[in-house]
A and B are shown apart, each in its own frame.
Chain A
């Protein structure tokens, strides 16, 4: 079973404490939302999980193996894949070559052609198969985002971290990304979705983690977390808290309408 355990992780940059004793555990193919105000430590946590940063304290365990301190490629090979806040397709490589990179890194004995069918299947699912021989730089921003998601599937990780997958995307593309998450989640993959798009986070996730100033201030059912006073304070400040509001999600999201009046 998929298992990711974050044990009291600390990360500081000089005098700034970016992560302060973060502790949680993922078991099975959970679908988790990770939210927090700007500067809360969401991306730092992702960078610690995928090996870009070595934590200054604490441990990270992935599928029964301690992985903190391992380089990113080793962690990727052990089953943790991620996207980046700003899309990072390999721009001067073709779409197909982008897809081959993780597959070839994971399977040293195989050849590119062994992955052609799978790559095309994934591209087809993401509706960009007709661009297979184009350079990634010629793709639109949204198509590059899809390519990044496709590349992740070639890595075939157990746990997928999506950093702001909905930022600046067209509604049509949003649907494709939703479908991607649903289908891939159905294939027994765990997700951690970082987003400021509360509507999507509440619609998708079954469990919500909230970071604020590097501390995990809430962890649980989204509906319960939504009403947590600490979370409301972190997001809206003390004044709103006094008014007793519980709107984390923007107007129009299930559960928030009743409080708008």
Chain B
């Protein structure tokens, strides 16, 4: 019997293997290690936003707000009630989920631009509350968060974030490939038609808001413990736009495309801080965001499926789709 292993699994194992081994190379540079850890955080956010917007069609601008809810909850519980980071992270994740549930219900009748505007309004409202209630939240000074545990190393922080990323991606892939994923995509395509085909769109719309809010809340709570401080700027519209842009560059319909897009973009933005060309050192400063903007414009104009997703689709998905049909057609012929 010929053993056939799906190419996608091999690619996934190689990719995870590389990420697990990367600290061997990065361990001498805490800065590089921190940049890559931060890139993991953005990869989680971009891929979970893709699940919400690209797969389920709910174009929300509140995703960073849920990460902020996770971070502020754990920070405030630690400061005022002496909660441990683990307790705080659990509480922050759950609170993000509960707020996601409420937002999901409130958004049931909203679609496209109206949903986007609603979530922008929610996000800004939260930011302004965090900013103005400074006696409680420390306002623009930011809320201090302790490290996850005393004497945690950069490498340990790297692995914590990597576990979150790989675990989150595995869960989201399972979800997207399940019946729920099928229903979410039908809902994205046409809510009314999906409903007429027996899909409970109310249930799945609320469910996907809750799930992605939980993921963003968890990622935010853990990551800002590593950063050590969270400020209202975390949830400003620019930050949210950055996550969306990363997902668009990677491929808005692909969890992996969005994650890789976010990861590479985040690393790219750091690399562009200082570039040495023919011995001349150039500091791009804020101009690197201009390069990022150009890349986004290029993607939207010439590659609407993103820059990473078409590669993944060509290498793995297309063939898998065709093979499945061909294989089954053969089986049917054989049976008849």
B179 close to A50 (CB less than 8 A) = no
Across the interface, do B202 and A77 meet the contact criterion of CB distance under 8 Å? Answer: no
- Which B residues are in CB contact (< 8 Å) with A90? 185-186, 189-190, 193-194
Is there a chain A Cβ closer than 8 Å to B303's Cβ?
A: no
A155 with B197: CB separation less than 8 A: yes
Contact with A along B292-336 (1 / 0, CB 8 A): 000000000000000000000000000001101100110010000
A residues near B329, Cβ cutoff 8 Å: 120
Nearest-Cβ distance from residue B126 to partner chain A, whole angstroms: 31
Residues of A within 8 A of B325 (CB): 96, 132-133
Contacts of A100 in B (CB 8 A): 182
Contact (A71, B200) CB under 8 Å given A93-B189, A104-B179, A108-B179: yes
| Residues of chain B within 8 A of A132, CB atoms compared | 325
* B182–A104 touching, CB < 8 Å: yes
Chain A 82-100, CB within 8 Å of chain B: the 1/0 string?
1010001011111011001
Nearest residue in B to A134 (C-beta to C-beta)? B321
Q: What 1/0 mask marks residues of chain A from 147 to 167 whose CB sits below 8 Å from any chain B CB?
A: 000010001000000000000
Chain A residues, Cβ within 8 Å of B223:
none
- Taking a contact as CB atoms closer than 8 A, the residue among B186, B189, B321 that contacts A133 in the complex is B321
Asked if B196 contacts A93 (CB within 8 A), the reply is no
Q: Does A116 contact B (CB under 8 A)?
A: yes
The 8 Å CB contact of A82, one of B183, B185, B190, B196, is: B196
* A69 contacts the other chain (CB 8 A): no
- B186-A93 in contact (CB<8A): yes
- A133–B322 touching, CB < 8 Å: yes
Tell me if B253 is interfacial: C-beta within 8 Å of chain A: yes
B198 adjacent to A116 (CB under 8 Å): no
Which residues 183-214 of B sit at the A interface, judged by CB distance below 8 A? 183, 185-186, 188-190, 192-202
In the bound complex, how far is the Cα of B228 from the Cα of A52, in angstroms?
50
Chain B CB within 10 A, most for which of A51, A72, A117: A72
Q: Which residues of B contact A41 (CB under 8 A)?
A: none
A-side contacts of B195, CB under 8 Å: 51-52, 71-73, 76
CB distance from A150 to the nearest CB of B (A): 12
Partner pick for A102 among B197, B201, B322, CB 8 A cutoff: B197
Known: A105-B199, A106-B198, A132-B325. A52 touches B192 (CB 8 A): yes
Residue of B nearest to A111 (CB): B179
Q: For residue B201, which residues in chain A have a CB less than 8 angstroms away from its CB?
A: 73
A222 contacts B by Cβ under 8 Å: no
Q: Which of A50, A97, A108, A117 contacts B185 (CB 8 A)?
A: A97
Q: In the complex, are the beta carbons of B196 and A97 less than 8 A apart?
A: no
A51 to B195, CA, bound (A): 9
B328 lies within 8 A of A116 (CB): yes
Q: Which residues 117-140 of B sit at the A interface, judged by CB distance below 8 A? A: none
Query: What 4 A-B pairs come out closest when comparing CB atoms?
Result: A105-B198, A90-B189, A88-B193, A102-B197
Known: A73-B196, A90-B185, A101-B182. 19 other contacts (CB 8 A): A52-B195, A71-B195, A71-B202, A73-B195, A73-B201, A77-B198, A82-B196, A90-B194, A92-B189, A101-B194, A104-B179, A104-B182, A105-B200, A108-B179, A112-B179, A112-B182, A133-B324, A133-B325, A155-B197
Chain B residues in the interface with A (C-beta under 8 A):
179, 182-183, 185-186, 188-190, 192-202, 253, 321-322, 324-325, 328-329, 332
A interface residues (Cβ-Cβ under 8 A, vs B): 50-52, 71-73, 76-77, 81-82, 84, 88, 90-94, 96-97, 100-102, 104-106, 108, 112, 116-117, 120, 132-133, 151, 155
